[in-house]
Every structure is written in C-alpha cells, then in structure tokens.
Amino acid sequence: MSINSAMRSGVTGLAAQSSRMAAISDNISNANTVGYKRTGVQFSTLVTRQSGSGSYSAGGVIANARMEISKQGLIQAASATTDLAIAGGGFFVVSNKPGVMGEATFGLTRAGSFRTDAEGFLVNTAGQYLQGWPIAADGSVGSVSRESFADLRPVNLAGSTAAGQPTTYLNFTGNVPADSTGPGAPTVPFKTSVEYYTPLGKSDRLFLEWQPSTTPNTWTINITDSTGTSFGSVDVEFNDSGAYAGSPATYSNIVAGIPGFNFDPATGRATLEIPNGTTPQTITIDFGAPNSFSGVTQFAGDYDPRIHKDGAAVGILSRVEVSEDGILYGVYDNGSRRALWQIPLADVPNPDGLIAEDGNVFSLSGASGSARLVDANSGAVGAIAGGALEGSNVDIATELTDLIETQRAYSTNAKIVQTADEMLEVTTQLKR
C-alpha cells in the first residue's frame, strides 16, 4: 500500500536529516579547530520498483556524508614560527610516535600548530610528530624515497642547538689614503686586525699591514698572524687616472712568507693556509680585482678599512624558520642561519577520499590513492607558510542556515509520518 511506503519514506527522511544534523553539530563544534575539514551531507533518492502505473510506492532518501578535505581553510596569522599552514594542496606527514616507518603509524594532516617538546621533536596539538628529511652539512637531503614514507624521520631540533662556522672568506673593502704615499710616506704601516673563526669556533686574529711606499700610489700589503709571522706580502699599485682611478691597477712582487700562501694577481685574492689543525684552515682574502671597485680603493681621504667576513662563533639555536618551499632553518644567536630539515608535503590523487581519524589526521584509503612526497611550493602542492595556521573550513553562517533548513525538513518529514498515520487511522475506522 502506498500509504505505508509514504510512512517509510518519511522515516528515511527523518533518519537522513538527523545524519545531517549530526554533521552540522560536528562542524559547528569544530569551527575553531585548526586543520578541521567540514563534513557536508548530501542526499540521494531511494527508488522502489513500481508495480504498475496505477500505484506509486515511495522509496525515501539516503544521506551521504562527505568530508570536504580539499577545500582550503582560512589562513590566519599565528605567533610562533613553528605554526605552519599549507596554502594550496598537500598534507604534512605525521606519526603518532617519534619513530620511523614500521614503529609508528603514519598519517597526513593539515593541522600545523607544531611546538618543540622536551626531547626536541616538533609535535602538534593532537600529539602528532612532524616528519621530514634531515639536511646534511652539504645542504642536500641525499637520495630519498618520494614514493614511500620509508626515509622520513621525525623532525628533531635537539641535535642542532650549537653550531659554529669557520671563516673561509674575508673581503677587504674601504679606502687607503692616497696622500700617504709618495715622498714623505709614513714609515709605520697602517695596521688593522680582523678576527676569524677556526673550525672549532675559536676566534683568532689576522693582521693586515698597509705600508705606503715612497713611490706614489703604491703600497705593500703584508698579512701576518697574531704573533707577527708573515703569511706573505704583495705590492699593489693603484690607478691614478682614467675611468678606473682609485681602483687597484696591478698586483706584483708576491712574496710567500709561509708555504700555502698564494696570490692571484688577476682576481686580487690571497689564499692563506693557517696551520691550526691536521688539515690547515684555508682563508681567502679578497682585495678586489684590478680595475674594479669591488674591493679596496685608494682616494685622498682617511684610512677607512671595512672587512666583511663569513663564519661565526659557536651559537645557540635561537629560533627556527620555515621557508615557503618547506626548508626548516635554524637561526642561531650569532646571527647565522643553517638549513636543518626539509619538510615534504604528501600529495594524493583524491584528497577527499582520505579517511578521517582522531586528531585531524587522515589516513590513506583505496579511494584516496597512494601518497607521493613533493617539495612544498612545487607541482600540485602549495607553499608552507610559517607563523600562520590554517583554520577550519567551516562557515558558521552556512552551518546555521543548514541548521534551519534541517530543522524545517525534519518537521516536514515528521508531518508526513503523522499524516500517513492519520490516513491509516481513517482507514481502520471504516468498519465500526
């Protein structure tokens, strides 16, 4: 009988609307959960085979809940630099324990509110450990598998707290006074010391002596160590006219004080080998190529040396920064920066097919397809934004509207059941 089927249909409608109601309530309660993806409920018809054209049998409705995983949430500014958001597609790979594949369960997430824990691991609010590839001293991650999670390691900052960098390069810029050369030149050289860092992070000094010559515009540069032992010396003549006036013209008369001293007159670079270890420390001092203003100049004026150098004393990790392409840099209190970890993003063919787990984690399923690890900001995956978080993609206004809609639909469905019931009652009262 059609009335019965109408009643059944009304009941499926009630069931479907209550599913939607449940989804809306989850959405609203997680409206402020970082990385939450809203669940949308869509309906589809249930149709029963009709016995004939004279009667209609109602089928009802069925609810389909679907997570809108691929829909981007709002990116909001956050205070910590380890708060990471993904602008675009892709997921962070996380594990429930600080271990490698096999020891821990891996999952994907977009909830990037990471903090360092007591052991130096980066853990998000749901207790998930961020996974990445360590960057070796040469700046590369080596060959890693991008098709599986096998080479991923939990990101740990504990081993990177102190770092020193030996000095390898000094650039001497600034001015030497032209009017000090020529007859009556001072017999005492202009002497400047500069600190450099040894491979152990210790600081030592080099002396650069500029002896003006009685020949105009000619100087002798003598490089000595802190005890006065000369590494070597070189004469430099400066251009006194023309387009290059003031820049070095020629380097000549190269004298090596101790072995390992080299001077390239074409580039104006001295190479020293400082015997402070089994392997001597090599430092290049750049005075500027002839006829260029990249290094030292000689104009009438003050002796005004400026020495720029690389290297740093041992520093303590003061904070970390994550670049858009997913490189985690350590910034040390001596001002140096070092790339420590690469954080890849996982790309799946069908993100909406992922299975949601506790703690904003998604796991792979047959529907999602297998994950591929891609460098952030390349290919299909988005950029990583440090100091930002991805909010939920729930819109309260939409949810409230849906709520009203659901409420109305629910009471309408109930009315169907009630009306069908009343109709059946009329039928039963046909006989007294």
Partner 1 sequence: MSMQLALASALNNLRANTAQTSVISKNIESAGVEHYVRKDMSTVTRFVAGVNLGIEVIISRNVDERLIRDVRQESSVVSSLDAKARALSGYIEVIGQPQDERSVASMVSNLRISLQTLLDRPGEQVVQRNAVKAADDLAATIKRMYAESRQVQSDADEQIRTKVDLVNSNLKRIEQLNKQITAGKAAGRDISDLQDERDRLTDQIAEQIGITTYQRGNGELVILARGGATLLDSNANTLVFTPFGSITTSDGTDLTLSPATGMTSGAIAGLMEVRDSIMTSFQNQLDQLASGLIRAFEAADGTIGAPPADTGLFTDAGLAFNPANIQGLGERIRVNPSVRPEDGGDLWRISAGMHATDPVPGGDTTQVMAFLNAFDTVQAYDPASGLPTSATLQSYATSLVTLQQTVRTEIESQNDARMVTYENLRQTRLNRDGVNIDDELQKMFFIQQSYAASATMLTSVKELMDILTSI
The DSSP output letter for 410 is H
Cα–Cα distance measured from residue 259 to residue 279, given in angstroms and rounded to the nearest whole number: 14
Cα–Cα distance measured from residue 9 to residue 417, given in angstroms and rounded to the nearest whole number: 8
Cβ at position 423, least distance to partner 1 in Å: 33
- Cα–Cα nearest to 84, from 341, 287, 280, 336: 341
- The residue among 58 and 312 lying less far from partner 1, judged by its C-beta, is 312
- The residue among 281 and 393 lying less far from partner 1, judged by its C-beta, is 393
- The residue among 58 and 67 lying less far from partner 1, judged by its C-beta, is 67
Cβ at position 75, least distance to partner 1 in Å: 5
Q: Which residues contact 397 (CB under 8 A, 6 or more apart)?
A: none
Cβ at position 69, least distance to partner 1 in Å: 16
- The residue among 228 and 366 lying less far from partner 1, judged by its C-beta, is 228
Site residues (CB under 8 A) for partner 1? 74-77, 85, 87-88, 180, 186-195, 203, 205, 207, 210, 226, 228, 302-309, 312-313, 315, 318-319, 324, 331-337, 382-383, 385, 387-388, 391, 393-397, 400, 404
Cα–Cα distance measured from residue 339 to residue 327, given in angstroms and rounded to the nearest whole number: 6
Q: What is the phi/psi pair of residue 35, to 5°?
A: 80, 10
Cβ at position 327, least distance to partner 1 in Å: 15
At which residue do the structure tokens 């202009």 appear? 190
Cβ at position 190, least distance to partner 1 in Å: 4
On whether the CB atoms of residues 174 and 297 are closer than 8 A, the answer is yes
On whether the CB atoms of residues 174 and 306 are closer than 8 A, the answer is yes
- The residue among 308 and 415 lying less far from partner 1, judged by its C-beta, is 308
Task: Show the tokens assigned to 157.
Answer: 């900052």
Helices (H) and strands (E) in the chain, counts: 2, 31
Cβ at position 307, least distance to partner 1 in Å: 8
- The residue among 149 and 329 lying less far from partner 1, judged by its C-beta, is 329
Cα–Cα distance measured from residue 333 to residue 324, given in angstroms and rounded to the nearest whole number: 23
